């Protein structure tokens, strides 16, 4: 092959990789026209912001625990060690970074987008849910004007997909259930072979909690004002979470959390 051809091929490869990076593949397969023409483009338009937030979280985490700023460490502790166990160390931060890399890769894979005009799971201001195979879009997604909320929730859903995990109590500064979560959860979750299954049944860890990843990415990407806004979705004792899904919680939501991360 001539030198010119090699150069030409290299340029094509480079452009191809670049397009792959900037145009994440979230596409509709075998879906209706409304999904293809209205819903799918809107979901696709949100993914670059989610990816940006995930990338910023990875930039912070790649510094390691000792390299993070005091504000970043505080954010990490608030989200990943709400029970104040003191268990956060370099190894834990590395696993979180590794999980973020898996989430990042999930954004590049093809996934089926399904619109759910009539579905019980789409209560309140919920934007999406996932059964791992498909990303289901709730009607409120089309009314939601806050792109940051859409992007944050999309990270939540892609964490389910990438790590194959279920929900733990959603992040809220006033949630007493979130406050009980520990970095690695119950010791039984550490057991060989059966550990990961037990972990998903007990669901008391932050290490595999979709909302921990979504919220950390939101906070370190400097979206504090949006974060505060999401706290106003309380409806009596049932609190609307960040992904708009009602989740029972003993605490009534009122306070805005006091910590924030400086840019």
Residues 207 to 246: which contact Zn ion by CB under 5 A? Answer: 210
Q: What element of type H or E holds 140?
A: helix 140-143
In the complex with Zn ion, the residue whose CB is nearer, 183 or 210, is 210
Tell how strand 134-137 and strand 112-115 pair up.
Answer: parallel
What minimum distance in Å lies between the beta carbon of 155 and Zn ion? 11
What does the per-residue mask of binding to Zn ion show for 130-169, with x meaning CB under 5 A? -------------------------------------x--
What minimum distance in Å lies between the beta carbon of 41 and Zn ion? 24
How far apart are alpha carbons 63 and 93 in whole angstroms? Answer: 10
In the complex with Zn ion, the residue whose CB is nearer, 108 or 167, is 167
b or e along 191-226 (b: 16 or more beta carbons within 10 Å of the residue's beta carbon)? eeeebeebbbeebbbbbbbbbbbbbbbbbbbebbeb
Q: What element of type H or E holds 51?
A: helix 40-61
Part in contact with Zn ion (CB under 5 A); list of ranges 3-11, 51-59, 63-71, 204-212:
204-212
Does 200 bind Zn ion (CB under 5 A)? Our answer is: no
In the complex with Zn ion, the residue whose CB is nearer, 68 or 79, is 79
* CA 257 to each of CA 37, 173, 230: distance values in angstroms, whole numbers, following the listed order: 39, 6, 11
Part in contact with Zn ion (CB under 5 A); list of ranges 59-67, 85-93, 180-188, 206-214:
206-214
Q: Whose structure tokens read 């990875």?
A: 58
Site size toward Zn ion (CB under 5 A) is: 2
| Residues near Zn ion, by CB under 5 A | 167, 210
């Amino acid at each position: 092959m001539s030198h010119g051809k090699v150069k030409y091929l290299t340029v094509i490869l480079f452009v191809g990789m670049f397009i792959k990076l900037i145009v994440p593949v979230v596409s509709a397969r075998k879906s209706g026209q409304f999904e293809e023409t209205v819903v799918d483009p809107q979901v696709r338009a949100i993914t670059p912001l989610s990816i940006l937030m995930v990338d910023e979280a990875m930039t912070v985490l790649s510094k390691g625990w000792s390299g993070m700023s005091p504000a970043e460490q505080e954010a990490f502790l608030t989200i990943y060690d709400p029970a104040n166990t003191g268990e956060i160390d370099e190894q834990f931060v590395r696993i979180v970074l590794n999980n973020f890399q898996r989430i990042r890769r999930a954004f590049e894979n093809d996934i089926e987008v399904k619109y759910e005009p009539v579905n019980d799971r789409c209560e309140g201001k919920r934007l999406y849910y996932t059964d791992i195979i498909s990303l289901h879009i709730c009607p409120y997604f089309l009314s939601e004007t806050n792109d940051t909320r859409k992007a944050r929730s999309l990270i939540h859903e892609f964490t389910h997909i990438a790590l194959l995990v279920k929900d733990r109590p959603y992040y809220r500064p006033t949630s007493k259930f979130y406050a009980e979560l520990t970095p690695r959860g119950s010791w039984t979750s550490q057991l060989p072979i059966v550990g990961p299954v037990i972990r998903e049944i007990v669901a008391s860890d932050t290490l595999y909690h979709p909302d921990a990843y979504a919220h950390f990415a939101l906070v370190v990407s400097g979206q504090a004002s949006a974060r505060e806004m999401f706290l106003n979705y309380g409806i009596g004792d049932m609190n609307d979470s960040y992904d708009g899904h009602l989740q029972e919680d003993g605490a009534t939501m009122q306070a805005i959390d006091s910590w924030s991360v400086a840019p």
